[in-house]
Structure 1
Amino acid sequence: MTIQLTTAARQRMQDFLAKEPAACGVRFGIKRTGCSGFGYTVDLATSVAGDDTVFEQDGVRLIVDRKALPFVDGTEIDFQRQGLNAAFVFRNPNATGECGCGESFTVEAQA
């Protein structure tokens, strides 16, 4: 099981972590939302729970809840800037569909 960060995503996360010394890493997960079912969440983490899986890449600790892991395993997280907009972009091999706006996704078990 793995989650990969591109150089741009890693650098962006390192910037956030440097500004928040109390954070122990970045929490990556999902929530039910949008027109396709699930949306991604990326937040600073203040703790690691017993059922979390921790991935570390080039000094960035990525913390994923056990329940979310089957939905995001194998995901590559990128960070892209387009004009004035900047956002994390997710390439998830488990997603079987996405909404038109790209804010939510579906997986086979849910479809």
Structure 2
Amino acid sequence: MMRERPKAVSLTDSAAERVKSIMASREKGFLRVGVKNGGCAGMEYVMEYVEAPDAMDERVEDKGVEIVLESKALLFLLGTQIDYEVTALHSKFTFNNPNQTDACGCGESVTIIPVQEA
């Protein structure tokens, strides 16, 4: 019997509920997660709406929510848990990423090392 492959990315209950809420207002499409070069620490997390996943994107289903991961970002995101945080001053998605080695003071950019093949 084959065991289930671990998910590349997981969602907290709060993040799953927020994604469901956001996507309920859209007729179709997906929420796509990736990374891009930028900011003082080198990289930034990116979330965007797409009509359809790219051919090489990774589709992840967790807690009844399907998201897609940008293929070029996959090695930077493996093992990440996405959360949705609400405080008196803001609400935002946060990323608990084991591959993240540093972050800038403002919290907008991070340093991430890709997962190394075994």
Between stretches 73-82 and 44-53, larger displacement belongs to: 44-53
Q: What is the percentage of aligned positions where both structures have the same residue?
A: 35
Which residue number in structure 1 is paired with residue 24 of structure 2? 18
Name stretches of at least 5 consecutive residues in structure 1 with no aligned partner. none
SS of residue in 2 equivalent to 1:12:
helix
Q: TM-score, normalised by structure 2?
A: 0.85
- 1:14 maps to amino acid: K
Which residue number in structure 2 is paired with residue 103 of structure 1? 108
User: Normalized per residue, which structure has more strand?
Assistant: 1
Which residue number in structure 2 is paired with residue 72 of structure 1? 77
Q: Which runs of 4+ in 1 moved over 4 A?
A: none
User: Cα distance, 1:57 vs. partner?
Assistant: 1.1
Q: TM-score, normalised by structure 1?
A: 0.90
For residues 31 and 76 of structure 2, the distance between their equivalents in structure 1, rounded to whole angstroms, comes to: 17
Query: Which of 9, 12, 17 matches 2:15?
Result: 9
Tell me how large the CA RMSD over aligned residues is: 1.3
Aligned residues: 108
Between stretches 66-75 and 41-50, larger displacement belongs to: 41-50
- 2:106 maps to amino acid: C
For residues 2 and 108 of structure 1, the distance between their equivalents in structure 2, rounded to whole angstroms, comes to: 15
